Amino acid sequence: MSTPVPASAPATPEAVVGQVRLVPDGHRDFDTSLEHATRFHRLSRACLEQLVEQGLPHSSDATGLLFDRYDLRNVALLLGVRSPQRATYEAMAAALRAGGAGAAVRRTVVVRAYCPDREHCAGCAFVLDPAVTSAPEVVAVRRPEASRFEVDVLLAAADATPPPTPEQRRLLDEAAGLRFHLLPPGLTADLGFLRETGLADCTLAVRHLVAWAGELGVPARPATGLCLSRPFANRHHWLELRDVEGRWWPADPFFLRTLAGWGLLADGDWPAHRRPVGAYWRVDLDLDVPMLRHRGAGGAAGGSPPERLGPAYFLVQ
């Protein structure tokens, strides 16, 4: 297997700010301090000050400059900074390579639940959606603690990916025209924003490509679940395409092309039409439905979901 391709050259500060500003101001929350931006997002003070001069959206209070967390994540990615966000995608790329090695993949997913309500931190009830425990890849489920689930998952070995049909190739070409951008929740279903800017995260890209597939007459549907990256799994969304025998197979042209563009996957080994078998665990849920729910103290219904889609909840062993 060849090595990953070199990463694309980092964008200039002007280009970074230009892309970030395509997100409307109404979707920003200036809650991240300059100090946190430098410490957590690995962006230097000088870099941030230069970006502010170029027009990076910001606010300020008595402590100094304040930034939007999504803007900072995107800035770090566009500049090629070794940020926590970049590390997440490096781990997902590693999971794809491991899953594509040709052998079945067995993993244990440890789901650790936390109460999202600080008013009570004991006696909470947590529920895994039945779609999680009934997924065909699940071998065993254990619950050693009230807030801890252990799910053994067996993913089938990857096989050869057939070449795309002409119609599927048009779908791949559409995916190639999109630019990756982490979006706040208010934009992840806004197809108008995608058409206007060409920006999408995985959620919005899947919505758009499923709609586009319908126009092309390509059988496609959205899929959601976990990328079994280590040490932490990540909630992810991708496509499924139907073959001539009526079977559904995973496809992720937008994200595979994004990872290759960042130099995290070898483009020759990971063309956009390759099936990401062995890395993605599909769960039969809608894109916006959490896998884990919090029922509140005493198991009361209507509690808020504790799933923050972060590494504290899905540990992969």
Please report the pLDDT score of residue 299 as a whole number: 45
The pairing of strands 314-316 and 248-251 is unpaired
The answer to whether position 183 is within a domain reads no
The answer to whether position 197 is within a domain reads no
Query: How does pLDDT run across 271-309, given as a tens digit for each residue?
Result: 999 999 999 999 999 988 888 887 765 444 444 454 443
Question: Coil, strand or helix: which one is 181?
Answer: coil
pTM of the model as a whole: 0.90
Same domain, 247 and 121: yes
HEC string for 111-143: EECCCCCCCCCCCEEEEECHHHHCCCCEEEEEE
The answer to whether position 7 is within a domain reads no
Higher pLDDT among residues 112 and 229, named by residue: 229
What span, in angstroms and rounded, lies between the C-alpha atoms of 245 and 45?
A: 56
Same domain, 40 and 145: no
The answer to whether position 138 is within a domain reads yes
Q: Which domain holds residue 35?
A: 13-82
Strands (E), the chain: 30-33, 59-61, 64-68, 105-112, 124-128, 138-145, 148-155, 179-180, 199-200, 220-227, 234-242, 248-251, 280-283, 292-297, 314-316
Residues of the chain above pLDDT 90, percent? 71
Among candidate residues 236, 243, 315, 232, the one with its CA nearest the CA of residue 273: 243
Same domain, 126 and 219: yes
Please report the pLDDT score of residue 310 as a whole number: 36
Q: How many domains does the chain have?
A: 2
Q: Average pLDDT in the 105-118 region? A: 83
